[in-house]
Structure 1
Amino acid sequence: MHRRLRSATPLLTALLVALCASAAFATDKEAKPSPADALTLYAGATIIDGTGAPAQPDQDILVRGERIVAVGPHGSLAEAKGATVKTVDLHGRYVIPGLIDSHVHIATPPNPKRAQAILRRNLYAGVTAVRDMADDLRSVGELAREARTGEIPSPDIYYAVVMAGPEFFADPRVAAASYGVKPGTSPWMQSIDGKTDLREAVTLARGTSATALKVYADLPPELVKAITAEAHRQHMMVWAHSAVFPTRPADVIDAGVDVVSHACYQAYQLEPVMLKAYEDHTPVHEDLLAKNGDDPVMAGLYRDMLKHGTILDATGSLFVQYDAERKAHPDRRPLRCTGPTTIRLVRQAWQAGVPISAGTDSDPDFKHVWPSVYDEIFFLTHDVGMPPLQAIRSATLIGAEAAGQAKDMGSIEAGKLANFAVLTADPLKDIGNLRSIRMTVKRGHAYPRADYRQVTKEEMGDDDD
């Protein structure tokens, strides 16, 4: 224990540097928490509440400070009739819960200007929370603090500590996210083997203020199970790749992890001989899937997910988009799955009733106007076949559950945070109407879309990549 703490001590210097770094774009005057006693009535909107229930027209939302006090038919909320209540007329508008991207990477390597530009862009497009899945937590922790206090306009950030086998830590991404520390020895990226004191390892992880552990790669089933049990004992969630290599998807699920990422990786369950290491990027043998209809092996996997309550962070749009890019650049190495196979796997999971969140694992250049979570929502509707109502639920309530935050966000309900987006067109008629956003409300504070401006090349300076 003392040896591990001494090895982490030099990190304090780097952490203090990160804490003192000036935040780009933090001068937005609107990025302030709402007064705790301020009352605002959002009146007359059609509400799509995120639970999957039908849209409710002509509804009022009463907000005090950062939370929703009440929701009800227009004019029915008695507390909304006081003289001090500010009213925002939303007749003819549509309100959905704030969107949640359940798979982002904002600091590998750390670049605060770029991260803040992307986070700001996402907030003004209706994204009120993200789940960061493995990064330099010295940077992510500070971004999360700034987002939570309103120092920067940003979704709230919930993040993970990585645990993986020793072989994984030769990955150059680890060095980029652990600069100044021997890879595998930092509290936020830990090398785990059979000799590791898991109680100490999870305690160190908790010290980063992470929400969860991410079980990443190169771990056998018994260690995946032991890590999960210890994390849950210490009240941390466990997020994992669908296949951890050499651990098969079925063993990852049976270990009791809370969320698995990448629907594609689930097809490794069909392999006669499982890949021994994450570093072996041999694609799944797609011809092993049933030629017609649902695959029976996948059906068994999805039954296990339902039994354990496991959420699928599908990241499907990533694979579909990469397929399209390879048509223009056929020399690029293929991913582990093609787009059509990924679509097939996610569709079968959804039809089996598996809860699916909207995670992206990619983000367009900060110069793009819209966030990549829109692409994942469009994937779920246009490719997988989800009705828009269910796709919105995936990007809101299921995303909140994946981040362990469903008590406070993910749906428009009394007692939850006032996190929602106001649209001028009905997203249930066309999910593309997400782009009709006129305002994001996060923790009770309004961010009008009209106030959004893209970051300039001059502001980015040398960080313009």
Structure 2
Amino acid sequence: MNTRLLSTLALAIAATLSTSAFAAQPIVIHAGRMVDVDKGEVLTDRAIRIEDGKFVSVTPWSDAAGRDAKVIDWTKYTVLPGLMDMHTHIADEIQTKDPSLPLKSTPVRDAFIGAKNAWDTVRAGFTTVRDVGVYRGFADVALRDAIKAGDIPGPRMFVAGAYITRTGGGGEVTGLPKGTVVPDEFRRGVADNADQVRTKVNYLFDHGADFIKVIATGAVLTAGTEPGTPEYTEDEIRAAVEEAARHGSFVAAHAHGAEGIKNAVRAGVRSIEHGSLIDDEGIALMKQHGTWLVADIYNGDYIDTVGRAQGWSEETLRKNIETTQTQRDGFRKAVAAGVNIAYGTDSGVYPHGDNGRQFAYMVRYGMTPMQAIQSATINGARLLGREKELGSIAPGKAADVIAVTGDPLSNIETLRFVQAVIQNGKRVCDGPDECGPPQQGQ
């Protein structure tokens, strides 16, 4: 294991352990500007009171009471709720040109990688993520539980446990040398008919999954599959939806192709991931059913630039070209149609910690800055069904809050460079040397 990685993790854990006193005392943040994502407005000179890890009140600073509290001076900042990324892969190693990379790692090594990815993500201001699948089954469950226990720093995680995918489908490890045997731990969710889907869905919930991820179509990054090709029928997806509902949960559907998207929406999934080749009928169906769109509209540029430089396969580069601009055009149409949209980046294809890079793309392709911010705060919470607990600076909610320099409503890029992060009322990082996207070499 890289010694720099070990040092980074040691410092992160030490920082987490040192916050107990910080969290025990009531806190009042003096915010120069505060984004109220519930109302879609910006308030000035606010006092945000935090007790026992939750927001207690938001009042004008002139009305602030309680000299018992520790005052944090953020008057020079714009203050927002902790950000939420609804499409991450924190527990896996970053994408490379080698399709067999997941098989070359070990559970212990994956644990260190996941811990570093989690640290990079939370110090970039993303205090909650929906992690939508891992190759090594339940690695995400273990990471989620370690963060929740306070053993390591990281975002609050909602996890899928593994991919529900067909044999050789978009959620499998493919493109391997002939004769390679893929261990069972990488195939926890493989299912080839509705009955098998039901069995595997229950198996994933029994082992700690929070929701289900179904691979409804082929994938850009999985060799031998095509993004536009459906891999499950509507009835097979519905089987997953019905079983998830019995567990009080939902299904997220990886779906690039138009037919696969419509199959998934009609089957009752909670969200469409990617949505690259969506057509007008699919947009109308999503609007009708209230289905969420989580579209990683930055990723195509990274794959084309870095993938070419690193020698990723011609198949992957070709599929990326065929989906990138179409995805962005469909995203613009979905925004105009009023489809529910939550922020999701597919971090893990590109380096973790730069999750905020996508905000500018969402504004470029049809959103107002406030809509983009809401997609990564209160709308992420709504997608999770946790809007009473998360997603905005409001009494009773988890005290996740970040500070940025400048005005993100006039320059959305400021959200890439977070200056301070508090999660559950505890300090995560303070200042550009600790927070923000990881610098080269970290």
> Which deviations, in whole Å up to 9, do the C-alpha atoms of 1:86-124 show, x marking residues without a partner?
111222321111111211113343522222222212211
Please name the residue that 1:340 is paired with: 325
| Aligned positions of 1:6-405 closer than 5 A | 24-25=9-10, 28-32=13-17, 38-51=25-38, 53-77=40-64, 81-108=65-92, 109=102, 111-135=110-134, 136-161=136-161, 162-168=163-169, 171-172=172-173, 180-181=183-184, 184=187, 186=188, 189-196=189-196, 198=198, 200-217=199-216, 218-243=231-256, 248-266=260-278, 298-324=279-305, 332=314, 333-335=317-319, 337-363=322-348, 371-381=353-363, 383-405=364-386
Distance 1:302 1:34, change over 3 A: farther
Secondary structure in structure 1 of the residue aligned to 2:16: coil
8 Å Cα contact 2:262-2:282 kept in structure 1: yes
**Alpha-carbon offset, residue 34 of structure 1:** 5.0
Count of residue pairs brought into register by the alignment: 393
Distance 1:130 1:201, change over 3 A: same
Please name the residue that 2:97 is paired with: none
CA–CA distance in 1 between the matches of 2:417 and 2:196? 51
CA–CA distance in 1 between the matches of 2:14 and 2:54? 21
Secondary structure in structure 2 of the residue aligned to 1:48: strand
**Alpha-carbon offset, residue 61 of structure 1:** 0.8
8 Å Cα contact 2:165-2:171 kept in structure 1: no
8 Å Cα contact 1:169-1:191 kept in structure 2: no
| Aligned positions of 1:407-426 closer than 5 A | 407-426=388-407
CA–CA distance in 2 between the matches of 1:318 and 1:357? 16
Please name the residue that 1:270 is paired with: none
Equivalent position amino acid for 1:248 in 2: G
Please name the residue that 1:428 is paired with: 409
8 Å Cα contact 1:25-1:152 kept in structure 2: no
Identity of aligned residues (%): 25
CA–CA distance in 2 between the matches of 1:455 and 1:147? 23
Secondary structure in structure 2 of the residue aligned to 1:87: strand
> Which deviations, in whole Å up to 9, do the C-alpha atoms of 1:257-305 show, x marking residues without a partner?
0011012142xxxxxxxxxxxxxxxxxxxxxxxxxxxxxxx33322221
> Which deviations, in whole Å up to 9, do the C-alpha atoms of 1:21-41 show, x marking residues without a partner?
xx9437633314757763111
Distance 1:169 1:388, change over 3 A: closer
**Alpha-carbon offset, residue 163 of structure 1:** 1.5
> Which deviations, in whole Å up to 9, do the C-alpha atoms of 1:57-88 show, x marking residues without a partner?
111111012111111221325xxx33421111
Q: Which runs of 5+ in 2 are unaligned?
A: 1-7, 93-101, 217-230
**Alpha-carbon offset, residue 173 of structure 1:** 6.0
CA–CA distance in 1 between the matches of 2:265 and 2:409? 33
Secondary structure in structure 1 of the residue aligned to 2:362: helix
Distance 1:390 1:302, change over 3 A: same
**TM-score (ref. length: structure 2):** 0.79
CA–CA distance in 2 between the matches of 1:174 and 1:402? 34
Aligned CA-pair RMSD: 3.2
Equivalent position amino acid for 2:122 in 1: L
CA–CA distance in 2 between the matches of 1:420 and 1:429? 20
8 Å Cα contact 2:173-2:182 kept in structure 1: no
CA–CA distance in 1 between the matches of 2:411 and 2:129? 24
CA–CA distance in 1 between the matches of 2:171 and 2:76? 55
8 Å Cα contact 2:77-2:404 kept in structure 1: yes
**TM-score (ref. length: structure 1):** 0.75
**Alpha-carbon offset, residue 384 of structure 1:** 0.5
Distance 1:115 1:173, change over 3 A: farther
Please name the residue that 1:291 is paired with: none
Distance 1:194 1:300, change over 3 A: closer
Distance 1:147 1:100, change over 3 A: same
8 Å Cα contact 1:28-1:152 kept in structure 2: yes
Q: Which runs of 5+ in 1 are unaligned?
A: 1-22, 267-297, 461-465
